[in-house]
Amino acid sequence: DQQVKQNSPSLSVQEGRISILNCDYTNSMFDYFLWYKKYPAEGPTFLISISSIKDKNEDGRFTVFLNKSAKHLSLHIVPSQPGDSAVYFCAASARTGGGADGLTFGKGTHLIIQP
């Protein structure tokens, strides 16, 4: 069963507008969430993370929101730029003893920024 779900395989947004990528999870033990961006033939690039003790984290144009009661998180990109076109992965971790447990990834959302 998929513990991390990204229900939109693709998303098209106009340049300059806000991109909102969504992610749902089912495992209550997850307490750390990350977003990665991936171009073809490259490894995922870390974008932003959030701990379950927070409900929002910002880094420049990227903001991640976490709603623990709904088991939902979202990534907002404002304003969207052509270079943002890539596949975005949501990932979750159930940290134990401070270690880096394996990340559980969603299937990804292909974001396309239209000029």
Phi, psi of 41 (to 5 degrees): 65, 20
Nearer to another protein, 80 or 103 (CB): 103
Three-state SS at 51: strand
Compute the least distance from the CB of residue 107 to another protein, in Å: 5
Compute the least distance from the CB of residue 76 to another protein, in Å: 19
Compute the least distance from the CB of residue 44 to another protein, in Å: 5
Neighbours of 109 (CB within 10 A): 21
The one-letter amino acid at 6 = Q
Nearer to another protein, 23 or 34 (CB): 34
Three-state SS at 31: coil
Nearer to another protein, 45 or 81 (CB): 45
Q: Which residues bind another protein (CB under 8 A)?
A: 32, 34, 36, 41-46, 49, 89, 91, 93, 95, 98-108
Euclidean distance between CA atoms 93 and 114, whole angstroms: 33
Give the position of tokens 């693709």: 10
The 8-class DSSP code of residue 2 comes to -
Nearer to another protein, 55 or 59 (CB): 59
Compute the least distance from the CB of residue 110 to another protein, in Å: 13
